[in-house]
A and B are shown apart, each in its own frame.
Chain A
């Protein structure tokens, strides 16, 4: 199953996503990692960002293609990427900007 790589930014805790060595704030910008080897390599590379104090707690999560869009398998990651379902004015669903 394809994966994506996420973490929290150290300074403010914001949820960020990996794309080719950079950390972006939107799930839509996240790099699709279709092969386990590529996902593992990205996770290993993220260690450098942890050492550089850019992010904490990097981890991979499963995604699947659904009607042409990539969507996390778990509801947890859907909510994490958008914000609380009970406050649509908060989180990324309210303000989607690049780092």
Chain B
């Protein structure tokens, strides 16, 4: 894992004291709310529906056991006993008191954490593939460049007052687990024909009220040039992005208005100019220095088939189901990637109690697991698990209520906090996720349905990624009453697409039946081995429309 150097530690500590002083000045009346609001937002502190909310950055979704323990402690001491993992790999606390926030930030700083770049019109916390360093087909760990981008973007004077927030994601594989194409900028690590490693850069993707899939603006950017290239993209955006209308200020609107070709031309022009000065060349020594922090653990030489694991799962149907659903292939023989679902049937997607956070930290220590990951799908991931440890780890997870076997299935639902917590929401999202997961609770039924990603947002800001759901659900407000639009055919993966609204919205008590109608039609019409998404793409919306609106 990346460890703070002296500069990082001092910077974060100073920032805590600076914010402590700002809070004091606010409470003493020296600062008005208008003056204070941008300062608190720069430190991740929002005012939500019920209380303040503190959003803490989890850079590229990687946490240590020590950090989990501190999050558990904060949940217990300063909040209401739980945290909420978000679709940007961050964690939020929903009930902190303003007067406690400087102390919370000070506690976070002791474990190299902070709440910077989790709000405001800056380059936000950089996200990455949650299988980083473990994925079978990975070219390079994406967190190396994610960390370099983090260091470059934090406090960068040119990017502290962008037209709007700016989100960057990184992946090192062809398979896209980071929703690359829905980001303002995405970096995909690729190899060229000569086998050299470089970066394909996308720009102009996004969700929100106007969803766009990004375009390639750099086919193969050399490693040493990546910051110069990103700076070129940012300059085009900073110069030409709209500041007159908040809804048209994201880079996706600029790319759409210019057209991808013109965007590429302008970026290339800026890139040439920056490169000509030679000031933003990234030295190989610096790349190597950062890369050393992300060296994989020393994998033990093991057979890929592990007798201990195979015997245990032959004896325990629950372990068998969990292992078949929640494990992914690891690059090292005898290891697996384990997804810890934060989607218990009927539970709140992404919520994790302080007991669970502490329990996971103890589990990590006991099994020498240095890292845990937060996924943008609001789950946790143990990236490097010895197969022989899996039976014991599963038993521990089950005791913690963290062994739900549903990764990638219909009950593994993304849902934003919605109107239960969020000041911007128009409708609740969590209860809809709960009712759907209860309706499809049976594991055999879920497995029969296969891969199906449901994503629910409580407003058009799309924190719940509804545009990218195989089945997306968008909550809307009609004269104070919650309604839900059904959106089909989206994908946030390498086959990215934007879902289409099926028709008129459903009431709160109708939407689960509508989802079930869609799923039943798929089961009737699918071809052997065909996923829901592929069946929808083949069949088009009409048969689904007929099914759900006939019954409506």
Interface residues in B489-509 by Cβ distance below 8 A to A read none
The interface stretch among B5-13, B284-292, B308-316, B426-434 is: B426-434
Q: CB within 8 Å of B: which of A11-31?
A: 11-15
Identify which of residues 477-497 in chain B touch chain A, using a CB-to-CB cut-off of 8 Å. Answer: 477, 480-482
Report the interface size for chain A: residues with CB under 8 A from the other chain.
25
Stretch in contact with the other chain, from B44-52, B133-141, B164-172, B198-206: B44-52
Asked if B419 and A75 sit within 8 Å, CB to CB, the answer is yes
B480 touches A79 (CB 8 A): no
Q: Are A50 and B33 in contact, with the CB atoms below 8 A? A: yes
Tell me, rounded to whole Å, the shortest Cβ–Cβ distance linking A85 to chain B. Answer: 6
Q: How far is the CA of A86 from the CA of B50 in the complex (A)?
A: 14
Taken residue by residue from 23 to 54, chain B's Cβ proximity to chain A (1 for < 8 Å, 0 otherwise) reads as 00011010001000000000000011111100
- Residues of chain B within 8 A of A53, CB atoms compared: 26-27, 29
* Closest chain A CB from B66 CB (angstroms): 28
Contact B27 A10 (CB under 8 A): yes
Would you call the interface of chain A mostly helix, strand, loop, or mixed? loop
- Taking the complex as formed, is A45 at the interface, i.e. its CB lies under 8 A from any CB of chain B? no
A56: contacting residue among B47, B419, B425, B477, CB under 8 A: B47
Query: What separation, in Å, do the CA atoms of A13 and B27 have in the docked complex?
Result: 13
Contact yes or no, B98 A10, CB < 8 A: yes
Beyond A13-B98, A74-B480, A79-B420, is A85–B431 a contact (Cβ under 8 Å)?
Answer: yes
A12-B33 contact, Cβ under 8 Å, with A75-B481, A84-B420, A84-B421: no
B97–A13 CB distance below 8 A: yes
Report chain B residues within 8 Å CB of A90.
Answer: 80, 95
Query: A50 to B27, alpha carbons, bound, how many Å?
Result: 11
Closest beta carbon of chain A to B412's beta carbon, Å: 18
Q: Which residues of A contact B420 (CB under 8 A)?
A: 79, 84-87
Contact B51 A12 (CB under 8 A): yes
Q: A12-B99, A13-B97, A75-B481 are in contact. Are A83 and B428 (CB under 8 A)?
A: no
Kindly list chain A residues whose C-beta atoms are within 8 Å of the C-beta of B413: none
Contact with A along B463-485 (1 / 0, CB 8 A): 00000000000000100111000
Whole-angstrom distance from the CB of A75 to the nearest CB of chain B?
6
CA gap between A73 and B425 in the complex, in Å: 16
- Range, interface on chain B: 20 to 34
Q: Which chain A residues lie closer than 8 Å to B98 at the CB level?
A: 10-13
Q: Does B108 contact A (CB under 8 A)?
A: no
Query: CB distance A80 to B50 under 8 Å?
Result: yes
Interface-centre pick from B49, B95, B348, B434 (highest chain A CB count, 10 A)? B49
Given contact pairs A11-B27, A13-B47, A56 touches B33 in the complex (Cβ within 8 A): yes
Q: Is A3 an interface residue (CB 8 A)?
A: no
Closest A residue to B430 by beta carbon equals A86
Report Cα–Cα, A75/B459, bound state, in Å: 14
**Residues B49 and A76 in contact, CB atoms below 8 Å apart:** yes
Please, how many angstroms separate the alpha-carbon atoms of A60 and B384 in the complex? 53
CA distance A91 to B420 in the complex (A): 11
Distance between Cα atoms of A12 and B33 in the complex (Å): 14
List of A residues within 8 angstroms of B96 by Cβ:
13
Q: How far is the CA of A50 from the CA of B47 in the complex (A)?
A: 15
> Which of A67-85 touch B at CB < 8 Å?
73-76, 79-80, 83-85
- Cβ–Cβ contact B431 & A86, under 8 A: yes
Within the complex, what minimum Cβ distance (angstroms) separates B80 from chain A? Answer: 6
Chain A neighbourhood of B430, CB < 8 A: 84, 86
* Cβ of B461 to closest chain A Cβ, rounded Å: 15
CA distance A10 to B99 in the complex (A): 9
Of the candidates B51, B348, B480, B481, the one whose C-beta lies within 8 Å of that of A14 is: B51
- Inter-chain CA distance A96–B364, complex, in Å, is 40
* A74 surroundings in chain B (CB, below 8 A): 477, 480
| A11 with B50: CB separation less than 8 A | no
Tell me the minimal C-beta distance from A87 to chain B in angstroms. 7
Q: Which residue among A12, A15, A73, A83 has the maximum number of chain B CB atoms within 10 Å of its CB?
A: A12
Beta-carbon contact of B480 and A75 below 8 Å: yes
Chain B residues with Cβ below 8 Å from A73 are: 480
Would you call B29 and A85 a contact (CB within 8 A)? no
Q: Which residue of A lies closest to B481 (CB)?
A: A75
> In the bound complex, what is the Cα–Cα distance between A80 and B52 (angstroms)?
13
In whole Å, how far is B394's beta carbon from the nearest beta carbon of chain A? 27
Instruction: List chain A positions with a Cβ less than 8 A from chain B.
Output: 8, 10-15, 50-51, 53, 56-57, 73-76, 79-80, 83-87, 90-91
**Which chain B residues have a beta carbon within 8 Å of chain A's beta carbons?**
26-27, 29, 33, 47-52, 80, 95-99, 348, 419-421, 425, 427-428, 430-431, 434, 477, 480-482
Could you show 20 A-B contacts with beta carbons less than 8 Å apart? A8-B47, A8-B51, A10-B26, A10-B27, A13-B47, A13-B48, A13-B97, A13-B98, A50-B33, A51-B29, A53-B29, A56-B33, A73-B480, A75-B428, A75-B480, A75-B482, A84-B420, A84-B430, A86-B434, A90-B95
| Given pairs A53-B26, A74-B480, 10 additional interface contacts (CB within 8 A) | A11-B27, A13-B98, A74-B477, A75-B419, A79-B49, A79-B419, A84-B420, A85-B431, A86-B420, A87-B420
